[in-house]
Amino acid sequence: MIEKSGREPVVTIDGPAGAGKSTVARLLAARLGYRLLDTGGMYRAVAWSVAQAGIDADDAAAIARHLKSVTVTVDDDRFLVDGRDVTSEIRSPEIGALTSRITALAPVREAITPLQRRLASAGGVVLEGRDTGTVVCPDAEVKFFLDASIETRARRRQMELAAAGRTVPLDAVRAEIMVRDAQDRTRTLAPLKKADDAIEVDTSERSTDDVVATMLEAVERIRCCTRS
């Protein structure tokens, strides 16, 4: 989709953990020929660095000072902290829980949100996260909100952990997701919610290919309306 300015559009995909955002975003970006920006991964990288530094997750002042000396970069689907690839290390449940805590802190948002906006400003990008359509890029041309039942999301998360060599009981995974949901939806700063103009897609009983096809159709409709 090319606007009159010649800039490719920004596509945002938000939703809770286990809704299928990461897989769908990767495939959608590939089909569109766009860059993929996993905003949640950026926050996980920050959380990893905070954990490595031994900083209390509630100490906003210490985290703010820490962030002044840390560089988080994104290289396709790889995440680097001060040049170290931490892609695999940031996907643990512990880092996920810590991420949800620190993303509620203003210093963290103030450091990462502007970076995400700069990365998206050129267009031709798919952003995936919790607040990409509401806070990071509220003026994005195409917005989606993916959701699924708690049981579906728990099973998906359990399979992801198993693929990473971690055997976790389904009840424990479900409980972890419920806690994460509560944290994400009730935090004061940038809570997880559907943007008013986002297209909601329930992925519970649908294949990945079907979901991606639906989203491509939505993008194409907007392309037809805005193409010069």
Q: How many distinct structural domains can be found in the chain?
A: 1
**Residue 211 located in a structural domain:** yes
Residue 3 lies in a domain: no
d(C-alpha 105, C-alpha 15), whole Å: 20
Give the phi and the psi of residue 18 in degrees, each rounded to 5.
85, 5
Average pLDDT per run of 10 along the chain, which is 228 residues long?
62 94 94 92 95 95 95 88 95 88 91 93 92 95 96 93 89 93 88 95 95 93 65
CATH number assigned to the domain comprising residue 20? 3.40.50.300
Q: Do the domain assignments include residue 132?
A: yes
Domain membership of residue 5 (yes or no) is: no
Domain housing 185: 10-219
> What are the angstrom distances between the C-alpha of 85 and each of 36, 109, 208?
17, 22, 28
Q: Note the pLDDT tens digit of each residue in 71-112.
A: 999 887 899 999 999 999 998 888 988 998 898 899 999 999
Q: What pLDDT does 66 receive?
A: 96
Distance CA 136, CA 6 (A): 22
Q: pLDDT tens for residues 40-65?
A: 899 999 999 999 999 999 999 999 99
Phi first, then psi: give them for residue 36, nearest 5 degrees: -105, 130
Query: Would 26 be classed as within a structural domain?
Result: yes
Provide the 8-state DSSP code for 144.
E
Closest CA to 143 of 194, 201, 191, 198: 198
Q: What pLDDT does 226 receive? A: 56
